[in-house]
Structure 1
Amino acid sequence: MLAGATNVDPAMTSAVEREARNLGYETNAAARVLRGGRAGAIGLVIAFNEIGSINGTFFATALKGAAKGLSAGDVQPVLLPADDEDRTKIPKFLRSGAVDGVVVILQHEITHLVEVLADAPVPIAWVGRPHGDIGPDPIIVDVDNHGGGVLAARALVEAGRRRIGIITGPPDMEQANDRARGWTEELTRSGIAPGPIVHGDFTVDSGMAAMTRLLQRDPELDGVFASSDLMAAGAMRVLQAAGRRVPVDVSLVGFDDVLIATTSEPPLTTVRQPLEEMGRAAAEALIAVIQGDPVDRVREFPTALVRRESL
């Protein structure tokens, strides 16, 4: 009766509903699923280790946008933290029918989920283009990473820099590869040989380690593109500790435009990707697919250079 059945005596229905209200009863969503209805919920998959740093990171802003998109669609968000070892927990949960779909905010720590979610029983919207096979007709919301790499390289060249290195992301992430390709192509077009390339994992610590390696390879570097703001913040610490002034001796450009870009000293010039809008677009596209409405399953947002004092 409480699930909305219509073949029950109206007087009995009224009496049951009245008692249910007195008891504070709420309809069980799992029971509705068992009867063939929708769960009315969508999962938000994030890297488990990001929860401790929920403010001012890449995923936090995308998560905010996704949650807003679900709320506007009258859908309950369910947070699904995933670690970098467990390959069974999330797929098992999706098979339970507790959610109608999931938004995956793709980060290096959970790239292993790309493979295990390829045959998921519910639709998936990816914030960030996954590397590898993700099944037919995927929902992907990403940014023009190649164009962002071009913007970063061009800004460094226009600042008069000629010995320019890059701290790129993990090679198993398409975003990192695209940013590095854009950087390389723009430097080559400008007649400048690309400097040393080192990899990080989009964290502050990896940016520090990568910047140390860059200086070992070319102590006279005068420009650096770090393909995330967190890595750029780590790079800045190492440069300053080495006596290399930013931007007097070395110009530094990041990528993302998250909180740390404005709180660094000096504030960081960066390539902005509209993370909140991307998260919201992924949520809205997923809701449309679940409801059977037409939708563009692949969407790419433009990037923009945000100039601050590190250039």
Structure 2
Amino acid sequence: MQDQGSPSKRATAHDIATAAGVSRGTVSRALNGGYVSAAARAAIAAAIADLGYAPNTAARSLVMQRSQAVGFLVLEPHTLLLEDPNIGAIMLGANAVLSAADYQMVNLVVDSAKDTERITKYLGGRFVDGAIIVSARADDPITRVVAELALPATFVGHPPNLQQGVPFVGIDNVGSARAITERLVATGRQRIGMIAAAVDRDSGTDRLTGFQQALADRFDPRLVAQVPFYDYTSGMEGMRTLLERDPRIDGVFAASDVVAAGALQVLREAGRAVPADVGVVGFDDSPWALRTTPPLSTVHQPAKDIGARAAELVLRQLKGQQVEATGVFLPTPVVWRASA
């Protein structure tokens, strides 16, 4: 009799076969989706429930040379991962698709050179079968590692040095930024500035390009405040810079909703009414857009759908299927609210 304090013995497929009165091969076929009779399948299910059997996924992974895991790599500071609901929504969308396919999602945050070194070794050890990469910058070392390992991967966004044929899922940041800036111009604003975040990656650069295209000859480079991150603090810093450069500013395009929320805080402190004195628009249509006072005009970014499509593309590669070589772009309608 087993001691009460000792760990319980793990039930095996042999134990299941004995309890169900079938062969071990029949148990193996049932567990792996093969054909067995209805009576045998019912007996096996009853034995599994009775013995508390759980398949040895580590052993199965060793045999199949698959981990049944996909890495979700966020190339952003740890604090931004918690503050930016857009990243969270992408992650949830990806996890839903991977979970339905019986894959585990492994979250990996790359915030430093040490993180890069550690995760490079992790990827090289094949602890994940594929990867979804968010916020890669130009010449990012993780991008090179993924290419060198020939790791099935999908990028969210399109870093400039992404190899041809590597799949990505994204949005038309240039066109979307141009559309909402044109809408802001149509309200009659004369001095329009931008808080341009994260211009070291494609989304930030493209949104700045769209803003410049919309203003054309009216574009004033002095009214662009570049900030490092899509976060609240950056929005506050950028708005202060714009007010210092031109106190007459009457319109602001913030590169994300959370950046816009920080800008609104500074405008309140400066006694500037929104939208009466300054019209403000953002980007993402995240929960931040409805938390602000007034609610924020913005661009709707389908973050969950982006994550889901990225996961689907990784799974297709793992099955050896063809994927879109030119990338997938999802629609981004303008959502107009009271802030402008």
Q: C-alpha separation between the residues in 2 aligned to 1:144 and 1:24? A: 50
Find 2:82's aligned residue among 37, 53, 74. Answer: 53
| 2:220 is the alignment partner of 1:194 | yes
How far apart, CA to CA, are the structure 2 residues paired with 1:177 and 1:116?
Answer: 24
1:98 corresponds to which residue?
127
Match of 2:110 in 1: 82
Number of positions where the alignment pairs a residue of Structure 1 with one of Structure 2 = 300
Identity %: 35
Q: Give, in whole Å, the separation in 1 of the partners of 2:260 and 2:141.
A: 25
CA deviation map 1:102-123 (0-9, x unaligned): 1122267x95533443423421
Q: How does 1:55-204 map to 2 (within 5 A)?
A: 57-85=85-113, 86-106=115-135, 113-132=142-161, 134-188=162-216, 192-194=218-220, 196-200=223-227, 201-204=229-232
Q: Secondary structure at the match of 1:255?
A: coil
Deviations 1:31-56 (A, max 9, x none): 333334432221212346158726x6
Indicate yes or no: 2:328 matched with 1:299. Answer: yes
Asked whether the 8 Å contact 1:39–1:98 carries over to 2, the reply is yes
Change (3 A) 1:226 1:36: same
Could you list the runs of 5+ residues in structure 1 that have no partner in the other structure? 4-9
Aligned match of 2:284: 256
Please state whether the residue corresponding to 2:143 is helix, strand or coil: helix
Q: 2:13–2:27: 8 Å Cα contact kept in structure 1?
A: no
Deviations 1:52-105 (A, max 9, x none): 726x61101111111122123332222223323321222222222222101122
* CA 233–112 in structure 1, closer or farther in 2 if over 3 Å, else same: farther
The one-letter code of the counterpart of 1:152 is I
**Contact 1:101-1:290 at 8 Å conserved across structures:** yes
Measure the CA separation in 1 of the matches of 2:99 and 2:160.
29
- 1:43 match: secondary structure: strand
CA distance in 2, matches of 1:235, 1:112: 33
Structure whose residues are more often helix by fraction: 2
- Would you say the 8 A contact 2:250–2:278 is kept in 1? yes
Give the CA deviation at 1:13.
Answer: 5.6
CA distance in 1, matches of 2:81, 2:203: 24
Contact 2:272–2:278 (CA under 8 A) maintained in structure 1: yes
| Shift of residue 22, structure 1, vs aligned partner | 6.7
Which one has the largest radius of gyration? 2
Which moved further from structure 2: 260-269 or 37-46? 37-46
What is the TM-score when the length of structure 1 is the normalising length? Answer: 0.86
Distance in 1, matches of 2:23 and 2:55, equals 19
Residues 293 and 143 of structure 1, relative CA distance in 2, 3 Å threshold: same
CA contact (8 A) 1:84 1:112 kept: no
| 3-state SS, counterpart of residue 277 of structure 2 | coil
| Counterparts in 2 of 1:15 and 1:291: CA distance versus 1, 3 Å | closer
Scaled by the length of structure 2, the TM-score of the pair is 0.79
Q: Where do residues 260-275 of structure 1 align in structure 2 (5 Å cutoff)? A: 260-275=288-303
- For residues 15 and 264 of structure 1, the distance between their equivalents in structure 2, rounded to whole angstroms, comes to 58
User: Would the aligned equivalents of 2:81 and 2:87 in 1 still touch at CA under 8 Å?
Assistant: no
* RMSD of Structure 2 on Structure 1 (CA): 2.8
5+ unaligned residues in a row in structure 2: which ranges?
A: 1-11, 15-21, 32-43
Higher relative contact order (CA 8 A, sep 6+): 1
